[in-house]
Homo-oligomer: A and B are copies of this chain.
Amino acid sequence: MEQISAAATDGYSARQNAVLESALALLVEGGERALTTAGVARAANCSKESLYKWFGDRDGLLAAMITFQSSKVRAEPRPVGEAGLPALRAQLIGIAANLLRVLAGDVSIALNRLAIGQARRDAADLGHLVLEHGRRPIETRLSALLDSGRDGGLLAFDDTREAYATLYGLIVRDRHVRLLLGDSLGDQSPAARAEEAIDQFLRLYGAEETTGPAPERAGAGNERTG
């Protein structure tokens, strides 16, 4: 009969969560090469034996780090409240800015680098884990919002996945890969970037009745210099 702590319901005990946190910090700081079993044990003040008892293997530790991190940032899909184009636009912008912030986060970058570096031609175990826990949530959330916008007559598209993919491309562009490759990329604020991307998306997928969300043409938009 074990006393289950509050955090244990996420799959790991509180102590294990602390160890995973240390491992993530170690990974963020020094990359995969710094993520040795001895290093994790030393940083977390635990023994290597416990690591192997809890996670079975080094790969098990890596997988646990991914699932643990994804469990932390889980945000429940906010129920779509009021209708109307401004509300839809604001919600889209909020999600887009949040997406950009998440993708640029230290831990996200480190975990993506880890999964990509581990990926082989045939087997990409961690990569699939990252896609499952990191991409699917944002896709379902954005897709639901797009569907509701279409049901409300604000958006026009046939294939939700296609519309979502376009939206994702407009928001993220190649910033993610550049960040993964170590590019600093000028510090444009995520909010500004999100707003431009959503307006472009609405120009492409907005319903005909509402000709455009913004009076100015997309091509002539002055990018915010802040």
A198 CB-CB contact with B under 8 Å: no
On chain B, the residues within 8 Å of A127 by CB distance are 180-183
A-side interface residues toward B, CB under 8 Å? 28-32, 106, 110, 112-121, 123-124, 127-128, 130-131, 135, 155-159, 162-163, 165-166, 168-174, 176-178, 180-183, 200, 203-205, 208, 217-223
Q: Point out the residues of chain B lying under 8 angstroms from A218, CB to CB.
A: 204-205
Closest to A162 in B: B223
Q: Nearest Cβ in chain B — how far from A42, in angstroms?
A: 19
A223, B166: Cα distance in complex, Å: 13
Establish whether residues B120 and A30, one from each chain, have CB atoms under 8 Å apart when the complex forms.
Answer: yes
Please state if B222 and A158 are interface contacts (CB–CB under 8 Å). Answer: yes
- A115 surroundings in chain B (CB, below 8 A): 181
| Contact with A172, one of B112, B174, B208 (Cβ below 8 angstroms) | B174
Given A165-B173, A181-B119, A183-B131: A156 touches B217 (CB 8 Å cut-off) = yes
Q: What is the oligomeric copy number?
A: 2
B119 contacts A31, C-beta separation under 8 Å? yes
- A131 to B177 Cα, complex, angstroms: 10
Which chain B residues border A124 with CB–CB below 8 Å?
181-183
Q: Which of B117, B130, B157, B163 is in CB contact (< 8 Å) with A113? A: B117
Residues of the B chain whose Cβ atoms lie less than 8 Å from the Cβ of A168: 173-174
Contact yes or no, A203 B203, CB < 8 A: yes
Could you name 25 residue pairs across A and B whose Cβ atoms are closer than 8 Å? A29-B121, A31-B118, A31-B119, A112-B177, A114-B117, A116-B116, A117-B118, A119-B181, A124-B181, A127-B180, A127-B183, A131-B183, A158-B219, A162-B223, A165-B174, A166-B170, A166-B200, A168-B174, A169-B169, A176-B177, A177-B177, A204-B219, A205-B218, A205-B219, A208-B217
